[in-house]
Amino acid sequence: MKKYNVAILGATGAVGREMMKVLAERDFPINELRLLASERSVGKELEYRGEKIKVQLACDEAFDGMDIVLGAAQNATAKQFAPAIVKAGAVFVDNSSAFRMCDDVPLVVPEINPEDVKLNKGIISNPNCSTIITLTAINAINKISKIQTIVASTYQAVSGAGVGGPAELEAEVDALSKGEKYEPKVFAHQIAYNVIPKIGSESTEGYTTEEMKLQNESRKILHLPELKANCTCVRVPVVRSHSISCTIVTERAVSVEEAKQAIMNGNGVKLVDDLSAERYPMPLETSDQDIVFVGRIRKDLTNERGLAIWCCGDQVRKGAATNAVQIAQLLTK
């Protein structure tokens, strides 16, 4: 079996470390694993399959000899190093939003559009975490009848804001339990015992950048340029796993039974839908694994071609690290 030289750009962050974990779990055929980060992390040692690997400085020369680079860094870093990665002959699987809407960069969810990987010119983008989870949940229904509209609300875990999110939630809960005050640093408001209906920066007509990603990215991934999506993104005091409530309208009416059967046979999804038995997708059950749980499937009472759906998925894994590793696996094939 051929082995590959793989680098992780942003290896010391939460997603970078999760990428290492997923590579090991999936027994990815690695010859050399190169861990790259900023100057302040150089020299740190991270463990991979029982071996300690020193973090190296991310610079143009660091990508020489690499076959695949997994990006777990911010937009600015991705843009800075993308030319050097492509010049080195590697394929850059980037988790940032820097290249997602570029016409010559495939935007891939392996369960949905794996064939788009072949269109890459050196860069492949990982979609937004909520987009990945939502589309993985509804893709099987889209195969039965094309989706025309999506109306969604996301309930996004604090870890989606980085390692500081869970730390702030824990610190606030601790302070409040002692009757003390805590000044938020990561979020604009107290997140403990609260929800914050704004993620991302202001974009257009009152929507945020995070909210517009669902429409823009879904059109590209599903190859449905006329798809319309209306999204409200909400930060909730949950540590890990995003939840999404969405109502979809399809070209023809799809029954609840059809939808359930399609999801049961779908890729990357698990049907968890038994209201009388109190079985439905929840963040606690979907964390630290790669499957998107789907449930609460009902007919939309406002549109005869609509279905209401609830889904949950681990945004650090399937919403980021695992999806990137799956793309890398497609490249090896």
Q: Please say whether the beta carbons of 295 and 272 come within 8 A.
A: yes
Q: Domains of the chain by range and CATH? A: 4-126+320-332 (3.40.50.720), 131-315 (3.30.360.10)
- pLDDT (tens digit, 9 = 90+) per residue, 147-204? 999 999 999 999 999 889 999 999 999 999 999 999 999 999 999 999 999 999 999 8
Q: For residue range 101-134, what is the model confidence (pLDDT) as tens digits?
A: 999 999 999 999 999 999 999 999 999 999 999 9
Q: 1 falls in which pLDDT band (50, 70, 90)?
A: confident
pLDDT at 91 over 90: yes
Q: Is 219 left (phi over 0), alpha (psi -120 to 50) or beta?
A: alpha
Instruction: Write down the residue that tokens 């939502």 correspond to.
Output: 134
Contacts of 88 (CB under 8 A, 6+ apart): 63, 64, 65, 66
Could you confirm whether 189 is annotated as catalytic?
no
Q: Give the count of beta carbons closer than 10 Å to the beta carbon of residue 196.
A: 18
User: Of 231, 233, 242, 312, which one is the catalytic site residue?
Assistant: 242
pLDDT tens for each residue of 36-60: 999 999 999 999 999 999 999 999 9
The residue behind tokens 């997708």 is: 281
User: How many whole angstroms separate alpha carbon 189 and alpha carbon 191?
Assistant: 6
At 30 the three-state DSSP class reads strand
- Residue identified by tokens 């559009």 is 113
Q: Around Cβ 228, how many Cβ atoms within 10 Å?
A: 14
Query: Rounded to 5 degrees, what are φ and ψ at 282?
Result: -140, 150
Q: Average per-residue pLDDT in the chain?
A: 97
CA dihedral 82, 157, 291, 252 (to 10 degrees): -90
Q: Is 231 a catalytic residue?
A: no
Q: What is the pLDDT of residue 87?
A: 98
By 3-state DSSP, what share of the chain in percent is helix, strand and coil, each rounded to 5?
A: 35, 25, 40
pLDDT in tens, 262-310: 999 999 999 999 999 999 999 999 999 999 999 999 999 999 999 999 9
Give the whole-angstrom CA distance, residue 273 versus residue 296: 6
Residue closest to 81 by CA, chosen among 34, 48, 46: 34
Q: Which two tokens stand for residue 33?
A: 């694993």
Q: Catalytic residue, from 129, 233, 311, 312: name it.
A: 129
222 is written with which tokens?
Answer: 């599903």
Q: How far is CA 65 from CA 29, 104, 120, in A?
A: 16, 24, 19
